[in-house]
């Protein structure tokens, strides 16, 4: 769930992330792992954004993993095969504070081979960094703050000043979900307008994903048909909002072909 929120934010507000991580406001487009020479190790944790000169590799993690260094060098080499002239900053961003030594790993070493990448723990980042750009607002509550409730209240104020309704809805939904890592649901609901989240196609899609995960783990038996209809409804609503087929497929778990079929069916119904 948190992976999908972070991927949505990074891909939708790529210039905000470029300003934060690269120090320059450039628009980055998604680079699909399928464009690389090999299949991805774990595509759900991978974000690749590119411009003419750079590929930005991001991995968001809630918990540290021992295989992160290998994954970083592996993808660096894969991208090099495809884009030899592009530089490639690589950043692992940890969402939750931890004392694990794995978070300190910034190098992959194998005999004479050594590769470095950057690691960011959000709890060590100044809160002000995330209040300057809409796409970063949902991360503010996870930053270096002594009062997370007050920070979320400030985020809610910033969100209320966003004039584009769709962006406002999606930022609010993303902030709601990420705040759940550090705050109680009741507090979050007091500070963020519930109707904004309910109107967000992002929030709806992630709710549908949660049902899918629960069913897979045996916690939501007997809702398969209901979940399928919910995913279908979310996909249709997302398409009506102008969300691309690729993004709809990613957040709902449907294949691109299935989403294209839904788009075709809706187009046919509209023409009747």
Q: Which whole number is the average pLDDT over 194-218?
A: 58
Residue 164 to residues 153, 154, 189: CA-CA distances in angstroms? 20, 19, 22
Q: What is the pLDDT of residues 88-99, one digit of tens each?
A: 999 999 999 998
pTM reported for the whole predicted model: 0.73
**Would you give the end-to-end CA distance of the chain in angstroms?**
37
Q: Which whole number is the average pLDDT over 20-33?
A: 88
Cβ neighbours of residue 148 closer than 8 Å, sequence gap 6 or more: 141, 179, 182, 183
Give the start-end residues of each E strand in the chain.
29-30, 47-50, 55-61, 90-94, 107-110, 113-116, 118-121
Q: What is the pLDDT of residues 95-140, one digit of tens each?
A: 999 989 999 999 999 999 999 999 999 999 999 999 999 999 999 9
């Amino acid at each position: 769930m948190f992976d999908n929120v972070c991927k949505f934010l990074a891909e939708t507000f790529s210039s905000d992330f470029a300003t934060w991580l690269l120090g320059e406001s450039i628009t980055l487009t998604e680079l699909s792992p399928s464009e690389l020479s090999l299949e991805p190790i774990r595509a759900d944790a991978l974000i690749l954004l590119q411009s003419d000169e750079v590929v930005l590799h991001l991995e968001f993690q809630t918990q540290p993993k021992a295989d992160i260094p290998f994954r970083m060098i592996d993808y660096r080499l894969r991208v090099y095969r495809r884009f030899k002239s592009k530089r490639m900053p690589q950043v692992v961003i940890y969402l939750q504070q931890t004392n694990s030594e794995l978070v300190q790993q910034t190098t992959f070493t194998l005999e004479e081979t050594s590769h470095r990448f950057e690691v960011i723990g959000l709890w060590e980042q100044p809160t002000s960094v995330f209040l300057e750009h809409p796409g970063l607002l949902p991360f503010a509550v996870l930053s270096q703050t002594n009062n997370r409730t007050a920070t979320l209240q400030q985020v809610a104020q910033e969100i209320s000043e966003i004039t584009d309704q769709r962006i406002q809805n999606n930022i609010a939904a993303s902030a709601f979900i990420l705040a759940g890592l550090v705050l109680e649901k009741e507090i979050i609901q007091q500070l963020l307008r519930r109707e904004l989240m309910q109107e967000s196609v992002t929030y709806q899609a992630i709710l549908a994903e949660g049902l899918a995960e629960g069913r897979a783990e045996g916690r939501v038996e007997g809702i398969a048909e209901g979940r399928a209809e919910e995913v279908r409804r979310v996909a249709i609503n997302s398409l009506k909002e102008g969300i691309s087929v690729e993004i709809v497929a990613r957040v709902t778990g449907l294949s691109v072909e299935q989403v294209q079929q839904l788009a075709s069916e809706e187009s046919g119904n509209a023409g009747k």
